[in-house]
């Protein structure tokens, strides 16, 4: 299996000289199975440069797994070049939205209104298909078994476990470790804590034993208190996840958009110092736009 990063920034694209080493595009990750089947995790601005490379292998069938519908994870979809060329297929997978009462099709329909984009879906020459997923109900994409898991974010958010020929990847999407909103002693504390414990155990089970964990490491531990409830993790919480789950490699991603490359490296170096590696611990890496990992 091959993993390639096309977008590793969170919240908003952040191009410029201070982000050139790790990249300024928002979330997009290319997965290739051993049979070269194409799976794309999220469709942030990074999907545009990815789509340019696909022109060398038309026609393509691209299976895009959307973690959630916040802009930084979907805003590249209207610019996915194969959509404009006959013979190509974009198969969009994602969650049902209980607020709107619609499936993953709304990810495209909202963006392709004339108020926001000059081309309607009906005018695109490629074929677009929609697959609305349910938590923990696996689907088969070619040789890959894909299982969505509910994560913790202000909207419905799926993490994805992808298994191919005994190789596994888990991507958290945007995720904040669940916490109890009640104070100890409050009437609802005990019941809510049982729900939190169950959810946390389920998330750790989803990550368990994967070869590659790609995780939302937006903040440092010092920054987190002012960001609590925004739906993002820290370097330290993701290092803990990786160790508990027994993963082989952790890639830290969803880099804070205001953080320069130098500051990003400093934050990562501090997190590594907080978690000195022991035998059996994961390898820790910073996700970098353009980097590939094959295993």
- Per-residue tens of pLDDT for the chain, all 295 residues: 999 999 999 999 999 999 999 999 999 999 999 999 999 999 999 999 999 999 999 999 999 999 999 999 999 999 999 999 999 999 999 999 888 899 999 999 999 999 999 999 999 999 999 999 999 999 999 999 999 999 999 999 999 999 999 999 999 999 999 999 999 999 999 999 999 999 999 999 999 999 999 999 999 999 999 999 999 999 999 999 999 999 999 999 999 999 999 999 999 999 999 999 999 999 999 999 999 999 9
In 98-188, which residue ranges form alpha helices assigned H by DSSP? 106-111
Cβ contact 286:264 at 8 Å: yes
Closest listed residue to residue 88, CA positions, set 116, 126, 129: 126
CB 87 within 8 A of CB 63: no
Euclidean distance between the first and the last CA atom of the chain, given in angstroms as a whole number? 6
CA–CA distance, 158 with 237 (Å, rounded to integer): 18
DSSP 85: S
For helices 235-245 and 261-274, what crossing angle results, to 10°?
Answer: 50
Where do the domains of the chain lie, and which CATH numbers do they carry?
A: 2-294 (3.60.15.10)
52 by Cβ neighbours in 10 Å (0-12 / 13-18 / 19+) ranks as exposed
């Amino acid at each position: 299996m091959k993993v390639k990063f096309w977008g590793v920034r969170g919240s908003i694209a952040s191009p410029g000289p201070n982000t050139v080493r790790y990249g300024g595009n928002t979330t997009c990750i290319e997965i290739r199975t051993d049979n070269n089947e194409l799976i794309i995790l999220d469709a942030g601005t990074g999907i545009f440069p990815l789509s340019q490379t696909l022109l060398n292998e038309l026609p393509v069938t691209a299976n895009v797994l959307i973690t959630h519908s916040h802009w930084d994870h979907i805003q590249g979809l209207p610019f996915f070049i194969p959509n404009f060329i006959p013979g190509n297929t974009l198969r969009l997978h994602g969650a049902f939205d209980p607020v709107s009462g619609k499936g993953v099709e709304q990810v495209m329909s909202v963006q392709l209104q004339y108020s926001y984009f000059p081309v309607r879906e009906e005018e695109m020459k490629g074929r677009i298909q929609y697959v609305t997923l349910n938590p923990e109900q696996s689907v088969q994409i070619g040789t890959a078994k894909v299982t969505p898991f509910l994560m913790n974010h202000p909207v419905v958010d799926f993490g994805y476990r992808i298994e191919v020929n005994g190789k596994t990847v888990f991507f958290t999407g945007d995720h904040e470790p669940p916490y109890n909103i009640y104070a100890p002693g409050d009437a609802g504390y005990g019941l809510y804590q049982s729900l939190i414990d169950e959810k946390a155990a389920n998330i750790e089970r989803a990550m368990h034993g994967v070869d590659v964990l790609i995780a939302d490491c937006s903040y440092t531990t010092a920054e987190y208190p002012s960001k609590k409830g925004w739906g993002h993790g820290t370097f330290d919480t993701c290092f803990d996840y990786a160790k508990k789950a027994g993963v082989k490699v952790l890639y830290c991603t969803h880099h804070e958009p205001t953080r320069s490359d130098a500051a990003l490296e400093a934050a990562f170096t501090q997190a590594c110092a907080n978690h000195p590696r022991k035998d059996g611990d994961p390898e820790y890496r910073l996700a970098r736009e353009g980097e590939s990992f094959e295993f």
